[in-house]
Amino acid sequence: LVGSPPPGGSHIRHVLDPEAHEYEDLSDMPGGRYALETDYRVLSDFFLRETPFIGGEEPNIADYAICLQLLILYSTSHPPPDRIRQYLHNAAEHVGNWNEITLPIREFCMFRQKELRQAQVDMERLKYEDDIARRHQMAEQMTADTIQRRQESEDQMRAQWEADARRREEEDRRWREDQDAKVRADWEAKRRADADKRKGWEADQVGTLEAEQKRLMEERRKRLEAEQAWQEEYFERMRKLREEDEMRRAEMSRKASTISTASTATTQLRPQLGVEIKMLDDSKGNKDCVVAVERVVSGGPCDKAGLKDEDVIDRWNGERIYSKAAWTDKAKHAKIGEVVTLTVYRDGEAQDMQVTVGGTTKTLGSTHKVKSRGSVSHNIRYQKPSMRQPSMASKPSMKR
């Protein structure tokens, strides 16, 4: 559409300002219109025959340059045809800031339309004034009747001119209203398209969040199921351990019952170690923390194992004993016939003695408390009372 040299300029400028060209054969208005219509056909039938833009499906720099020049034609009395208007509309839809870019051109077109209309009005007024002046010159040579008829004709012409002026003003007002309505309609259509696009995006986001929430709930459900399965497996193992412990205790009770004498077959037996103990204080000031042998019963389990008087009993099956309560608890809950390993200190040397728990109908013997002696301090190293280990009975149950 822009055209190439000779320097007469583009066909658009021929139509826009035909008197500004140097060549008469290219600057006349009919010639410019004919060339412009030829360019319209080339653009619509060749470049835009298969694609909406010269650049294909998306506009390129050539489309932008041509569209901006086509907009200038709205400043003339020969706007583009419908096919070219559709081309401009497609370009406006693909350019996000089309209104901002084309605002100066649209303002120029409106201003130029106003200038053209004003120039036409001025030209008609000048013609009218020239005609009036010419008529006045002729009126001086006419008779009074002729002057009167001429005055009536002038009044009619003036009235006609005023009516034409009012009509043109009304047409201008309607044209401006149509242009404003088109701009508002385009803006509203774009706003609705943006709103629909945003609604679609929000719906996609909501779907994504719902899918993520479902995934998290599914993971939580699987985790709870795994924890429940682990808990059931744990309880099953504990049940089996309890059953095995009960079976072991029953077996030990059965073994203990086989070694009981006939005289005690119908009597309730208690575990017997055959030793009397006494509680000593160590040389560090810890009270009642040393279990010592007061007297070994002759023929008892401890006598058979080799314990002697004044021996210090340090451990029961590897567990250290710090108090009278710990010793009493161990002795009370021992099983008849059970083999217990006692770690005994004698003259500063540790010895492990295997004691087989016996049975008796007598109650457990008492313990004796005596003051510390220097000979006790070198037999065993004692911990402070605050560091004593708890007994098995006071240990907390295993928790998950």
pLDDT attached to residue 225:
93
Q: Which residue has the higher pLDDT, 379 or 297?
A: 297
pLDDT attached to residue 166:
92
- What digits encode the pLDDT tens for the residues 354-376? 899 887 776 544 444 444 443 34
- What digits encode the pLDDT tens for the residues 188-197? 999 999 999 9
Which two tokens mark 357? 């728990």
Distance CA 327, CA 361 (A): 19
pLDDT attached to residue 387:
38
**Out of 27-41, 80-94, 121-135, 320-334, which region has the weakest mean confidence (pLDDT)?**
27-41
**Out of 52-56, 217-221, 261-265, which region has the weakest mean confidence (pLDDT)?**
261-265
Single-letter amino acid, residue 234: Y
Which two tokens mark 95? 């350019």
- What digits encode the pLDDT tens for the residues 212-229? 999 999 999 999 999 999
Which of the four pLDDT bands, split at 50, 70 and 90, describes residue 159?
very high
Closest alpha carbon to 102 in 117, 83, 115, 89: 89
Reported pTM? 0.30
pLDDT score of 25 more than 60: no
pLDDT attached to residue 125:
86
If you average pLDDT over residues 25-42, what whole number do you get? 67
From the centroid of its chain, how far is CA 329? 60
Distance CA 319, CA 330 (A): 10
What residues does 83 pair with on adjacent strands? none
pLDDT attached to residue 109:
75
pLDDT attached to residue 228:
92
pLDDT attached to residue 368:
45
pLDDT attached to residue 175:
93
Closest alpha carbon to 6 in 19, 21, 20: 21
Nearby residues of 305 by Cβ (< 8 Å), 6 or more positions away: 342, 353, 354, 355, 356
pLDDT attached to residue 379:
39
Which two tokens mark 365? 């013997």
pLDDT attached to residue 189:
92
pLDDT attached to residue 383:
38
313 touches 289 (CB < 8 A): no
Which two tokens mark 159? 């009235």
Single-letter amino acid, residue 17: D
Distance CA 396, CA 329 (A): 17
Distance CA 226, CA 220 (A): 10
Average predicted confidence (pLDDT) for the chain? 77
Which of the four pLDDT bands, split at 50, 70 and 90, describes residue 388?
very low
Spell 317-336 as b/e; 16+ CB within 10 A means b.
Answer: eeeebbbbebbebbbeebbb
Closest alpha carbon to 317 in 304, 297, 333: 333
Listed in sequence order, the DSSP H helices in the chain are: 11-16, 24-27, 29-42, 61-72, 82-94, 98-139, 144-258, 301-305, 324-332
Residue 304: strand, helix, or coil: helix
Which of the four pLDDT bands, split at 50, 70 and 90, describes residue 180?
very high
What residues does 53 pair with on adjacent strands? 56
pLDDT attached to residue 362:
65
Rounded to 5 degrees, φ, ψ at 270 are: -120, 150
pLDDT score of 263 more than 50: no
Which two tokens mark 150? 């001429």
